[in-house]
Amino acid sequence: MTAGRWRAVSSTGEAVDLEPCGDGPMLARRAAVVIDADGTEHQVTRPVVALCTCDKSQRRPWCDSTHKSVRRV
């Protein structure tokens, strides 16, 4: 499943559902790879990862909690 800018797949290549987490990131559970809009692959090393949706993270694609101080329009 995609969330606009990200796509996550499991170690078997199956799409991983992304779950919104309030007004913050999208959560990907049991993903092996996150693929961004440019096609760049980001290896996942944790059971659950948070993907930035505000575009302000300094660690994109990962959420670094910057969204908490960003006002969304």
State the residues that interact with ligand FES by CB under 6 A. 24-25, 52-54, 56-57, 63-67
- Output 7 or 11, the one with its CB closest to ligand FES: 7
Give me the least distance between CB of 64 and ligand FES, in Å please: 5
Give me the least distance between CB of 61 and ligand FES, in Å please: 9
Residue 20: which of 59, 46, 52 has the closest Cα? 52
Work out the end-to-end distance of the chain between its first and last CA atoms, rounded to an integer number of angstroms.
25
- Output 13 or 38, the one with its CB closest to ligand FES: 38
DSSP-assigned states of every residue in 59-72: TTTB--SGGGG---
